[in-house]
Structure 1
């Protein structure tokens, strides 16, 4: 199989090249320096053929989890990094996804966005096998980078709490909770993304306005940006970008 693109989408049991790849730059992702440094270092090791870990990015929506993964491709594609987008419902097909990638000189990150699984979901077993390896040796040139708004990837239910037991003065979770937590623990690098502070949010608004050639900033613009976030009950990079587009569109000459 000819694999000449830098990004692919797994669809209908085949790798489909993505012609128009979104180009994001790492230095334009603000407010997440600690997380960015960690995932960049892990990816740098990976593209250099050194040991590296699967990555789980969890936390508040719109804070840059997906953007980091896309920006990694911009940064490391010249060094052989390739991105393969795999939908959560296609995780059962992971062996088929990995088969044509194994042994190639490129380094592939399987990108699973907005991932969570329901109780007893077969995808849970498939992902665990891919992360830890089954009988088959894991592909040395493939890693999984997953993003999720859920810290534990699986919903926590009232019945889970009922399974907790006190044993020798220590509180122990039940089997259901252990099963849910064990999936997240299989990712060697686990990074949390908290909601933006007000200052971080405003910094990102200014960045997006500058990218849209509207660098003018005054008290009125700041007030409108804060009101925009309040109306959406969220301060995030996504909300900042949406405000910048609205403001720049209204003031375009």
Structure 2
């Protein structure tokens, strides 16, 4: 994979120390984004500073993700991870916090868009001999009927005659547990044989993709109390909590959802306006 262009998407020149003839200088670059049209990994220069301590109500998911990642960083067997569930519940934030937590221990993240997964094996080939540990990150991963990019992902996870490299895992977020659309008609060919359920080919195809992620972390809609706890965390100095809570609940009502994302958006809209 050749680094074709020495500038970012805005046209600004990248630091020459970050890019060498053989690719990115990973000692200096904590993360990169794959730009398929230009065939380059663009270094990320501004990381989201979110930390695990900023995320409320996801202690179980944080603990499981940390455990898996720490095994990976120590060179022990570890799983590809699927973070799935309700929107706005912190799935993407966990990945960002993970990088901030472990970047000094050699963790690097490469973000790849779903539409660019056909390039996944080429990206992996270019980093398989690096000393750093890489998480390939796919955000909001799901596939509609007729899309075939998931086949490249299946091959990269498991399925090729070549073992995946020890220094690469895939972490993906999705609103769908099985990543592919599921229909009632998919169950038409399912049957019970000797008391065991045997799925039809359509169901087996859809399950086979998500099954390649050894660790599933589920995220569910939060309660009103959990939503207000996040709001309180974002507004620690506010004394008049009742007014703050009324405004936060009204904001969530207009959004149609109570979530950590909605609480953060409320903070961006009203920080500094409550005493």
The TM-score normalised by the length of structure 2 is 0.85
Offset from partner CA, 1:210-252 (integer Å, 9 cap, x none): 4xxx533421211221222122221110001111222215459
Higher relative contact order (CA 8 A, sep 6+): 1
Q: CA deviation at 1:121?
A: 2.8
Match of 2:129 among 64, 84, 103: 103
The corresponding residue for 2:269 is 246
What are structure 2's unaligned runs of at least 5 residues?
1-22
Q: Cα RMSD over matched residues? A: 1.7
Query: Helix, strand or coil for the counterpart of 2:271?
Result: helix
Offset from partner CA, 1:36-61 (integer Å, 9 cap, x none): 10001111111122111100000000
Q: CA deviation at 1:170?
A: 4.7
2:227·2:258 contact (CA, 8 Å) conserved in 1? yes
The corresponding residue for 1:6 is 30
The corresponding residue for 1:121 is 147
1:115·1:153 contact (CA, 8 Å) conserved in 2? yes
The TM-score normalised by the length of structure 1 is 0.92
Match of 1:153 among 179, 201, 205: 179
Q: CA deviation at 1:173?
A: 2.3
C-alpha distance in 2, partners of 1:204/1:49? 36
Deviates more, 1:28-37 or 1:112-121: 112-121
Q: Is the counterpart of residue 174 in structure 1 residue 196 in structure 2? A: no
Match of 2:247 among 224, 228, 231: 224
Offset from partner CA, 1:15-55 (integer Å, 9 cap, x none): 11011111110111100100110001111111122111100
Q: CA deviation at 1:166?
A: 3.9
C-alpha distance in 1, partners of 2:195/2:166? 44
1:25·1:71 contact (CA, 8 Å) conserved in 2? yes
Taking a change above 3 Å as real, the CA distance of residues 217 and 2 of structure 1, as seen in their structure-2 partners, is same
Match of 2:119 among 53, 70, 93: 93
1:14·1:97 contact (CA, 8 Å) conserved in 2? no
Taking a change above 3 Å as real, the CA distance of residues 133 and 170 of structure 1, as seen in their structure-2 partners, is closer
Q: Count how many residue pairs are aligned between Structure 1 and Structure 2.
A: 249
2:240·2:274 contact (CA, 8 Å) conserved in 1? no
Offset from partner CA, 1:50-77 (integer Å, 9 cap, x none): 1111000000000000000000000000
The corresponding residue for 1:39 is 65
1:180-191 equivalence runs, <5 A: 180-191=206-217
What are structure 1's unaligned runs of at least 5 residues?
none
C-alpha distance in 1, partners of 2:238/2:48? 23
C-alpha distance in 2, partners of 1:169/1:47? 43
